[in-house]
């Protein structure tokens, strides 16, 4: 999915959250939006698209484990939303460029990439839900 589609999908869902939850500020939405849209696809610059560390919630999740906050929960969720949108539902097209890479020549196959992306989304959604439910 391209930048513009990621941007509008993440913006729509984050704005809905902003309207629903009074403790979420606009600056949090702004940071989470750009994190979720830009960071996963930053791996383009290393010529290894869909590298597993970028196309997963690893970095904000590590930060969240050490210092939990609403902003980090939103960043995790925004990034996981990007990952959900990166899935191709036509399974025969989930190949090559679209699969998750681990080393330069090795990576996950189509179905495992889909499972990897979906499980990241479920973890991201769970973290945000639990955090909002208990702490916001
Ligand atoms: Zn992506």
**What are 55-108's pLDDT values in tens digits?**
999 999 999 999 999 999 999 999 999 999 999 888 888 888 888 888 877 888
Distance from residue 3's CA to the centre of ligand 1 (Å): 9
Structural domain count of the chain: 1
The pLDDT, as a whole number, for residue 81 is 95
User: Which residues line ion ligand 1, judged by CB < 5 Å?
Assistant: 40-41, 86
pTM as predicted: 0.91
- Pair 85, 132: CB distance under 8 Å: no
Domain that holds residue 57: 3-135
Tell me, letter by letter, the H, E, C secondary structure of 12-29.
HHHHHHHHHCCCCCHHHH
pLDDT of 47 above 70: no
Distance from residue 135's CA to the centre of ligand 1 (Å): 30
Closest CA to 42 of 5, 12, 79: 79
**What are 14-46's pLDDT values in tens digits?**
999 999 988 899 999 999 999 999 999 888 777
Better pLDDT: 2 or 62: 62
CA distances to 38, 70, 81, 103, 108 from 6, rounded to whole Å, are 9, 21, 9, 26, 23
């Amino acid at each position: 999915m391209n930048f513009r589609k990621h941007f509008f999908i993440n913006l729509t869902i984050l704005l809905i959250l902003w309207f629903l939850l009074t403790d979420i500020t606009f600056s949090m939405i702004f940071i989470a939006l750009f994190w979720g849209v830009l960071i996963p696809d930053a791996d383009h610059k290393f010529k290894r698209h869909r590298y597993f560390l970028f196309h997963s919630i690893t970095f904000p999740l590590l930060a969240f484990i050490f210092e939990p906050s609403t902003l980090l929960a939103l960043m995790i969720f925004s990034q996981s939303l990007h990952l959900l949108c990166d899935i191709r539902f036509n399974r025969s097209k989930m190949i090559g460029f679209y699969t998750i890479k681990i080393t330069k020549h090795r990576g996950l196959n189509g179905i495992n990439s889909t499972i990897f992306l979906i499980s990241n989304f479920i973890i991201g959604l769970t973290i945000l839900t639990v955090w909002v439910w208990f702490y916001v």
